[in-house]
Amino acid sequence: MAIKSVLKEELANSLRMKKRYEKELSKLLKGSINKRNIKGYEYYYLVYRENGKFKAEYKGKSISARELEKYSQAKELRSKYRKNLSQLKKQILYLKGALRGKAEV
């Protein structure tokens, strides 16, 4: 009985957390900064995907260290949040199964 109650609580937590991660992911800076070397000159591009298509937005010949850092942090967090979101989806499936009595508790 206590285990079922814990599982229910964990499921509610996971569902809520999934929404939070999705929201945080949507708030993160999109894309990452890509440096290209063309004929000996450096050019910076913001690269991202939109509707399944690759896009590259020209940012200039130089970019501030602060902006680079912002994109780099966002990239790192995006990767962590995606990993956590995937883990949460698995948890939710497992917990739903366990509560229906289909998975081993």
Partner 1 sequence: MEKQKYNLCLEVLRRMKKEGVLDKILLVGSWCVPLYEDYFKNKGCLPPLRTRDVEFLFPLPFNLERNTDLFELLKDLGFVLDYKGEQGYITFQHPDLILEFLVPARGKEPDKPVPIDALSINAQALRFMDALARNPIQMLFDDIKVNIPHPVDFALHKLLIAHRRKQKEKAEKDRGQAVALLRALNESAETETVRDVFQAMPKSWRKTIEQELLDLKEEKTLGLIKET
Q: Which residues bind partner 1 (CB under 8 A)?
A: 1-6, 9-10, 13-14, 16-17, 20-21, 24, 76-77, 80-81, 83-84, 87-88, 91
Minimum distance between the CB of residue 88 and partner 1, rounded to whole angstroms? 5
Alpha helices in the chain (DSSP H): 2-27, 65-100
Q: How many CA atoms does the CB half-sphere of 20 hold within 13 Å?
A: 8
Q: Residues of 40-62 as b/e, b for ≥16 C-beta within 10 angstroms?
A: eeeebbbeeeeeeeeeeeebeee
* CB of 56 or CB of 105, closer to partner 1: 105
Minimum distance between the CB of residue 11 and partner 1, rounded to whole angstroms? 12
* CB of 55 or CB of 79, closer to partner 1: 79
Minimum distance between the CB of residue 54 and partner 1, rounded to whole angstroms? 27
* CB of 8 or CB of 49, closer to partner 1: 8
Minimum distance between the CB of residue 12 and partner 1, rounded to whole angstroms? 11
CA distances from 56 to 3, 24, 31, 44, 48 (A): 51, 23, 9, 10, 7
